[in-house]
């Protein structure tokens, strides 16, 4: 792992990209270009901010989030890998996998032809990862900050045998208030809700969050739109390589018992996640790769 001076010398871009270490020795990367400002923590390859210059912050971060080794960061875009939710057979293993609990290596930074900023981070198999998962792999997170925020998680099987994994780009979106928003794009999709038994169909064209929701929409690759009437904006959430879209808000009761969320946190965020899980688990033969992508921006 490079230190701050080495990172800035090798990967910094003057006036555009700089590495800093503001909290508990975690290294952050700050991007500022003509389109937007963004921040990424190398611990967990975690996007913590994306703010186009003409709007409010798009990603939501918990003011009670831990920024320390061994604990996940709450908010932004956590990378869930190589499993989504609890481990299938070992409840002692970390929720949502180990990818968000490890430092990722910077492998590339660049300025694009339209003044967007590119960043590549990598987490490959090691003795530390094999404590949790026995396979040889390499995961690359490519982030492009421009008019939109593009996030690509590419996983490659470097083992001599097949393996399967699940993952998510677990995006938290900043809202003026949960009562001011609606989500469109999922009409007609089948979903199951972890909080209610049974299978459902999204019949109405818009979702309004009026209680705790953990909805997993199946066999859908459609784009979602978050319309926020108070902020007077529409956030466009597109994806590829994922057939599950998860919509999550913990609601009042659950929010109150999650230690790294403020009691009223549920009022100002909603998660819309690009997920590979359930009936969309990824199976890779040796040498194969799969990419899960989210593209986030404002609807013009």
Residue range 141-164, pLDDT digits in tens: 999 999 999 999 999 999 999 999
Dist CA 73 CA 86 (whole Å): 17
Please tell me the number of Cα atoms within 13 Å of 15 on its side-chain side. 4
The class of domain 4-298 in CATH terms is mainly beta
pTM of the model: 0.98
Taking only the tens place, the pLDDT of each residue in 182-208 is 999 999 999 999 999 899 999 999 999
Quick one: average pLDDT of 231-241? 98
Residue pair 212/254 in contact (Cβ under 8 Å)? The answer is: yes
Count of residues making up the chain: 300
* Ramachandran region, residue 7 (left: φ > 0; alpha: ψ -120 to 50; beta: rest): alpha
pLDDT at 23: 74
> Which residues form the catalytic set?
170, 273
């Amino acid at each position: 792992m490079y230190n701050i001076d080495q990172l800035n010398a090798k990967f910094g871009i003057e006036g555009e990209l700089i590495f800093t270490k503001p909290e508990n020795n975690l290294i952050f990367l700050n991007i500022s270009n003509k389109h937007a400002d963004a921040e990424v923590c190398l611990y967990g390859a975690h996007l913590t901010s994306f703010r186009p210059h003409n709007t409010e912050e798009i990603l939501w971060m918990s003011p009670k989030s831990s920024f320390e080794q061994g604990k996940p960061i709450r908010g932004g875009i956590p990378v869930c890998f190589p499993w989504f939710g609890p481990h299938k057979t070992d409840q002692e293993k970390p929720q949502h996998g180990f990818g968000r609990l490890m430092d990722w290596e910077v492998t590339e930074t660049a300025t694009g032809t339209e003044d967007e900023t590119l960043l590549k981070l990598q987490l490959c198999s090691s003795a530390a990862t094999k404590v949790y998962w026995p396979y040889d792999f390499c995961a690359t997170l490519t982030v492009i900050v421009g008019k939109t925020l593009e996030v690509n998680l590419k996983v490659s099987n470097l083992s001599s045998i097949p393996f399967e994994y699940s993952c998510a780009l677990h995006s938290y979106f900043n809202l003026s208030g949960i009562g001011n928003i609606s989500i469109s794009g999922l009409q007609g999709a089948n979903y199951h809700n972890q909080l209610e038994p049974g299978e459902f169909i999204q019949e109405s064209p818009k979702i309004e969050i009026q209680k705790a929701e953990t909805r997993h929409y199946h066999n859908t690759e459609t784009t979602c739109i978050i319309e926020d009437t108070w902020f007077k904006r529409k956030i466009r959430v597109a994806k590829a390589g994922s057939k599950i879209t998860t919509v999550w808000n913990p609601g009042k009761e659950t929010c109150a018992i999650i230690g790294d969320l403020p009691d009223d946190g549920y009022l100002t965020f909603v998660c819309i996640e690009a997920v590979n899980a359930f009936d969309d688990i990824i199976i890779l033969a040796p040498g194969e790769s799969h990419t899960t992508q989210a593209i986030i921006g404002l609807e013009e």
